[in-house]
């Protein structure tokens, strides 16, 4: 039995274990690394190997990166977040363990969110009031009363998405039976959020002044000069003008920076006057939107620390601006490490913990503003989680961060609010932090999970549905279920990511989330990551998913989708589970017909991406090498013609990978001589199975 190696990417891990090999395909060169959700997810490490090398994993990290893009939600083709230039799924090698890799290598598919080339901005929280038109109207009427906020219908819809704690009627619908995916499709990134260009409040300083011409008589130099005036009213006017001009004018942003508006605004973040604070942060939010130079300038002026100080204030409008600014900053890859270093602790203490719901409470008590604040904060974390290993580790180590995300998600599920956008962000963060988990966790944890007491019965409280004296547990003595006492019943910190309880959370998301495909895809991707690789605990969690959570049924329900990103995560997860399943015949009975439906049989069929095809064939191979039942079902459900078609279709590198995978599977099927008569009845000969 050869040792198995593992490669990770941000999608899910597919396990191709090494047992006795029925047939071995020709050697293949390493596959090119797949890039993770650009900013949106970590780069993928799909390690390919035919010669005992690791197969590059697909990634499932489509982390939300707040990218500069349209001012609405969009799905990019996400986890590019789904437009990642990732290579297609690795080629499969044949092995008895169901591993399609040569030399007993293991093929795991793991997903991480990747930043995509196409960015999608988060919806703006408020729209800028068109001052000039309003001023003219007021001038004509001879008065300039309190400014009212004008919000176009489209922006009101965006506001609904961000402002309410749970929104289901604004979510994108999928074309399939209930199913959803986590981040944007191929490269979904969380959008940057513009600030407001309106004056709130009937008692704002601005509304107390009467202007005959409004902003028509102002200029950028005058506005910047007003920022250092002694009169708070002038400071508000200057900040409001900058906010208004920078809403969609790139040249105005450059001009404001050249006039030193950024350091002056930073000094107003913690001004004693609340209106000054609100307008200064609102102006900065627009000023840095879609402008990398202004973001860097803000950070260099100690802006992050000043923002965190302002976050202590109880004013919700101010906190919305601050968290929106942080979210926009997190879209810049070169700032993520610094932001993680400076912000994680304060943000967790001042936003995540207070707003995630108190322990034991079944409902999350958030008003509309608090929901928006929490949403901004989780979008910020989603972007950070798609960065480097160092940043991921800082997030795992941050006290209370994971507890807040999991607690919020649990409360939302209990309240029937699985479509909530903050849930989407939270699950995407969990998926990204599960990326390469076993490779990046501290050695002390890994040693415990690898098991020093294998084969021994461990007394302790039950976790899940097995009690210490249950018949089921006694039947499993010496197996992985008995080792659950090695982990805490009440996990804290990073232990949450690999605790069996987290499998239940992801399972409930798959079952309950019907509309938000990004959430579903993130849940499947997280499961893909924690079941990836040849580590013992990956096998344990696979057994928990299959035997305790009965996860195959909800996964098969989601498999009906036509969404490619969801299919990548779902088939990658199934590929991992098929490697670790103890009863592969039972799995064959449930899976084969469903998987064959997704494969093309002729040129006119709609074909899923090559990576999905490779994952499906890898599952069939894992089941086939374990026994003849899967091979028999492939014949019965007319899968032979599809495999032959895929084998012969070699036009292009992606199809070449699928072709080699199909060739490996057909070679393994031929080893069952009792099925030769059935093969010939379908019109196929030995040469069709073993030939090139």
- In this predicted structure, what is the pLDDT of residue 469? 44
Domain endpoint, select from 436, 455, 474: 436
Q: Which of 389, 404, 436 is the last residue of a domain?
A: 436
Rounded to whole angstroms, the Cα distance separating 687 from 106 reads 28
- The answer, yes or no, to whether residue 197 has pLDDT greater than 80, is no
- What is d(CA 220, CA 401) in angstroms, rounded to the nearest whole number? 41
Q: What is the pLDDT of residue 113?
A: 53
pLDDT at 669 over 60: yes
Specify if 332 maps to a domain. Answer: yes
pLDDT band with cut points at 50, 70 and 90 for residue 555: very high
CA-wise closest residue to 50 among 461, 662, 661:
661
Query: Of 519, 539, 560, 615, whose CA–CA distance to 56 is shortest?
Result: 615
Distance of CA 300 to the CA centre of its chain: 30
Look at residues 375, 410, 436 and tell me which one is the last residue of a structural domain: 436
Query: In the predicted model, what is the mean pLDDT of residues 450-472?
Result: 44
Residue 673, pLDDT above cutoff 60: yes
Q: How confident is the model at residue 274 (pLDDT cuts 50, 70, 90)?
A: very high
Percent of the chain whose pLDDT exceeds 90: 58
Residue with tokens 């779902």: 570
Q: Are strands 81-82 and 186-187 parallel, antiparallel or unpaired?
A: antiparallel
- Whether 348 has a pLDDT exceeding 90, the answer reads yes
Q: Is residue 471 part of a domain?
A: no
CATH of the domain at 383: 1.25.10.10
**Does residue 688 register a pLDDT over 90?**
yes
Q: Mean pLDDT over residues 631-642, rounded?
A: 96
What's the average model confidence in pLDDT over 442-446?
Answer: 92
Quick check: 71 pLDDT over 70? Answer: no
Query: Does the pLDDT at position 500 exceed 80?
Result: yes
Q: Which of 54-58, 62-66, 290-294, 365-369 has the highest mean predicted lDDT (pLDDT)? A: 290-294
**Per-residue model confidence (pLDDT) at position 217:** 78
Residue 398 in this model has a pLDDT that exceeds 70: yes
Paired residues of 477 in beta bridges = none
Query: What is the domain count for the chain?
Result: 2
Range of the domain at 142: 131-436
User: Is 599 part of a structural domain of the chain?
Assistant: yes
Is there a domain that residue 505 lies in?
Answer: no
Task: Count how many residues are written for the chain.
Answer: 692
Residue 326, domain member (yes or no): yes
Choose the weakest-confidence range: 139-153, 236-250, 268-282, 672-686: 139-153
Q: 346 falls in which pLDDT band (50, 70, 90)? A: very high
Residue 363 in any domain: the answer is yes
Q: Round the average pLDDT of the chain to a whole number and report it.
A: 74
Query: By the 8 A CB rule, do 431 and 522 touch?
Result: yes
Q: Which helix (H) or strand (E) holds 397?
A: helix 389-397
Q: What pLDDT score does 351 carry?
A: 96
Pick the more confident residue, 607 or 225: 225
**Confidence category of residue 222, pLDDT binned at 50, 70, 90:** very high
Binning pLDDT at 50, 70 and 90, where does residue 237 land?
very high
132-145: average pLDDT: 40
More confident site: 349 or 81: 349
Residue 542 lies in a domain: no
Does position 462 have pLDDT exceeding 60, yes or no?
Answer: no
In this prediction, residue 404 carries a pLDDT of 96
686 pLDDT higher than 80: yes
State residue 112's pLDDT score. Answer: 56
Is residue 614 within 8 A of residue 88, CB to CB? The reply is: yes
What is the C-alpha to C-alpha distance for residues 227 and 209, in angstroms, rounded to an integer?
17
Residue 201 Cα to chain centre, angstroms: 37
Query: Is 175's pLDDT higher than 80?
Result: no
Would you place residue 602 in the very low, low, confident or very high pLDDT band (cuts 50, 70, 90)? confident
In tens, the pLDDT along 28-50 reads 333 333 333 334 333 333 333 33
Domain assignment present for residue 81? The answer is no
What DSSP designation does 111 have? -
191: three-class secondary structure by DSSP = strand
Q: How confident is the model at residue 490 (pLDDT cuts 50, 70, 90)?
A: confident
The percent of residues in the chain predicted with pLDDT above 70, rounded, is 63
Tens-place pLDDT, residues 308-337: 999 999 999 999 999 999 999 999 999 999
Which residues, including other chains, have CB under 8 Å from residue 448's CB and lie 6 or more apart? Answer: 486, 487
Token readout for 643 is 């495999």
Cα maximum dimension of the chain: 95
Q: What is the pLDDT of residue 189?
A: 43
**Mean pLDDT along residues 262-282:** 97
CA distance linking residue 53 with residue 626, whole number of Å: 23
pLDDT confidence bin for 359, thresholds 50/70/90 = low
Using pLDDT thresholds of 50, 70 and 90, give the confidence band for residue 672.
Answer: very high
Higher pLDDT, 70 or 574: 574
Backbone angles phi, psi at 83, to 5 degrees: -120, 30
Distance CA 61, CA 63 (A): 5
Predicted pLDDT at 67: 43
**DSSP string for residues in 50-69:** SSSPPBBPPB-B-----BS-
């Amino acid at each position: 039995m050869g040792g198995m190696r593992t490669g990770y990417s941000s999608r899910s891990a597919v396990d191709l274990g090494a047992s006795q090999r029925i047939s071995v395909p020709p050697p293949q060169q390493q596959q090119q690394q797949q890039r993770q959700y650009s900013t949106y997810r970590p780069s993928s490490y799909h390690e390919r190997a035919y010669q005992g090398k690791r197969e590059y994993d697909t990634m499932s990290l489509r982390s939300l990166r707040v990218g500069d893009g349209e001012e609405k939600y969009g799905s990019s083709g996400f986890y590019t977040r789904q437009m990642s230039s990732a290579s297609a799924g690795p080629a499969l090698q044949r092995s008895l363990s169901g591993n399609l890799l040569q030399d007993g290598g293991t093929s795991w598919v793991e997903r991480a969110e990747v930043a995509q080339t196409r960015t999608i901005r988060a919806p703006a929280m408020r729209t800028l009031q068109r001052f000039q038109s309003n001023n003219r109207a007021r001038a004509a009427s001879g008065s300039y009363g309190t400014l009212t906020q004008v919000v176009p219908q489209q922006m009101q819809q965006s506001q609904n998405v961000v402002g309410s704690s749970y929104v289901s009627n604004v979510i994108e619908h999928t074309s399939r039976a209930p199913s959803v995916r986590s981040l944007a499709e191929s490269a979904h990134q969380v959008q940057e959020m513009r600030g407001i260009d309106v004056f709130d409040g009937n008692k704002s300083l601005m509304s107390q002044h009467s202007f005959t011409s409004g902003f028509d008589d102002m200029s950028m130099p005058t506005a910047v000069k007003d920022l250092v005036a002694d009169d708070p009213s002038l400071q508000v006017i200057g900040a409001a003008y900058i906010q208004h001009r920078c809403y969609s004018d790139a040249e105005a942003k450059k001009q404001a920076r050249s006039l030193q508006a950024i350091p002056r605004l930073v000094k107003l973040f913690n001004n004693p006057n609340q209106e000054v604070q609100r307008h200064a942060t609102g102006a900065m939010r627009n000023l840095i939107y879609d402008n990398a130079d202004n973001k860097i300038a803000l950070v260099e002026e100690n802006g992050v620390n000043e923002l965190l100080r302002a976050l202590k204030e109880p004013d919700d409008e101010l906190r919305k601006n601050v968290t929106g600014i942080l979210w926009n900053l997190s879209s810049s890859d070169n700032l993520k490490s610094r932001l993680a270093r400076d912000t994680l602790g304060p943000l967790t203490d001042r936003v995540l913990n207070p707003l995630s719901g108190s322990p034991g409470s079944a409902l999350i008590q958030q008003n509309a503003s608090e929901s928006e604040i929490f949403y901004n904060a989780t979008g910020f974390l989603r972007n950070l989680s798609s960065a480097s290993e160092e940043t991921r580790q800082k997030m795992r180590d941050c006290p209370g961060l994971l507890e807040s995300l999991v607690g919020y998600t649990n409360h939302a599920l209990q309240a029937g609010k699985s479509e909530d956008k903050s849930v989407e962000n939270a699950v995407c963060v969990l998926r990204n932090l599960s990326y390469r988990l076993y490779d990046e966790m501290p050695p002390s944890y890994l040693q415990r999970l690898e098991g020093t007491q294998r084969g021994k019965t461990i007394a302790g409280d039950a976790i899940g549905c097995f009690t210490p004296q249950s018949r089921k547990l006694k039947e499993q003595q010496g197996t992985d279920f008995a080792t659950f006492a090695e982990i805490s019943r009440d996990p804290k910190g990073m232990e949450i990511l690999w605790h069996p309880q987290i499998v239940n959370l992801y399972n409930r998301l798959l079952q309950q989330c019907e509309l938000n495909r990004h959430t579903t895809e993130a849940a499947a991707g997280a499961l893909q990551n924690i079941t990836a690789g040849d580590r013992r605990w990956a096998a344990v969690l696979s057994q928990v998913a299959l035997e305790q959570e009965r996860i195959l049924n909800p996964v098969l329900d989601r498999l009906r989708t036509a969404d490619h990103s969801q299919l990548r995560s779902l088939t990658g997860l199934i590929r991992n589970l098929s490697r670790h399943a103890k009863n592969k015949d039972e799995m064959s009975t449930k899976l084969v017909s469903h998987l064959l439906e997704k494969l093309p049989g002729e040129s006119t069929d709609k074909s899923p991406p090559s990576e999905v095809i490779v994952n499906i064939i890898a599952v069939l191979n894992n089941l086939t090498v374990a026994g003849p039942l899967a091979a028999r079902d492939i014949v019965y459900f007319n899968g032979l013609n599809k495999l032959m078609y895929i084998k012969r279709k070699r036009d292009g590198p992606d199809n070449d990978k699928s072709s080699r995978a199909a060739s490996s599977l057909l070679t393994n099927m031929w080893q069952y001589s009792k099925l030769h008569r059935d093969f010939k009845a379908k019109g196929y000969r030995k040469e069709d199975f073993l030939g090139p």
